[in-house]
Amino acid sequence: MRIALLTAAGKGSRMQQNVPKQFLRVKNKPVILYTLEKVQSSPLIDEIVLVSLNDWKDVLWEFAKQYHISKLKYIVDGGKTGQESILCGLNAIQKYHDENDVIMIHDGNRPMISQEIIADSFATYEKYGSAVAAIPCVEAIFQSENGLDSEITYPREKLFRTQTPHTYCLKDLIDAHQMAKKLEIENTAATCVLMQKLGKKIYFSKGSEKNLKITTIDDVETFEAYVNNCKE
């Protein structure tokens, strides 16, 4: 079985809004619902598990009912960090599913995920046993200690920016989080970073510049422009 684990438990403090970023409305629809609709429409995904803020769970169930998100099976309370929230979702999945089931972890505030990205994530997983969406870095990259100046740069042709989805089998994810607890690895919100810290090789699947993570007001404006002008 293929299960989408969507994370939507962040409070969005960087956005400086009263409403968490995943619940901001674009054309009178919350961001998280755009993500749910994209995942719902994929024939490759059997179920959806959503990790959310406790106060928003009832609202999410109402959204799911209103917009026919029939694959949504569980809404789970998140943890204090992104890493803890993912584990909360994995623990819920583990109660009802086989350890060999495939889990596609995706940010709830990445509403522009495409069917091509989903399909390539699963295809890469089938080939290598894991998949992390990524795109080449096209800008010059500098390292700075103070945010004001720098004398260190990196060759951009060797650099990649990771996104979600991250796709692994349930057993590998549970094992990774158990090992992280033993090694006191905390607050790795990105599963690929946790896996890298545990010595695992990262295999890239298709990402996209359109696969936008909504973190700032600028991101909301960009997403709104896509919604108004793009079919995908």
Token pair of 47 as six digits? 């179920």
With a cut of 80, say whether residue 11 has pLDDT above it. no
Mean pLDDT for the stretch of residues 51-68: 93
With a cut of 80, say whether residue 75 has pLDDT above it. yes
pLDDT at 18: 72
Mean pLDDT for the stretch of residues 108-136: 98
Please state, in angstroms and rounded to a whole number, the distance separating the CA atoms of residues 204 and 132: 5
Residue found under tokens 């793009």: 230
**Gyration radius from the chain CA atoms:** 17
Task: Choose among 154, 190, 151: nearest CA to 173.
Answer: 190
Please state, in angstroms and rounded to a whole number, the distance separating the CA atoms of residues 37 and 159: 32
DSSP 151: S
With a cut of 80, say whether residue 19 has pLDDT above it. no
Instruction: Read off the pLDDT band of 228 (50, 70, 90).
Output: confident
Longest distance between any two alpha carbons in the chain, whole Å: 54
Residue-wise DSSP of 69-82: -TTEEEEEE--SSH
Task: Choose among 215, 218, 211, 183: nearest CA to 198.
Answer: 183
With a cut of 80, say whether residue 92 has pLDDT above it. yes
Instruction: Give me the phi and psi of 17, to 5 degrees please.
Output: -120, 160
Q: What is the pTM of this model?
A: 0.93
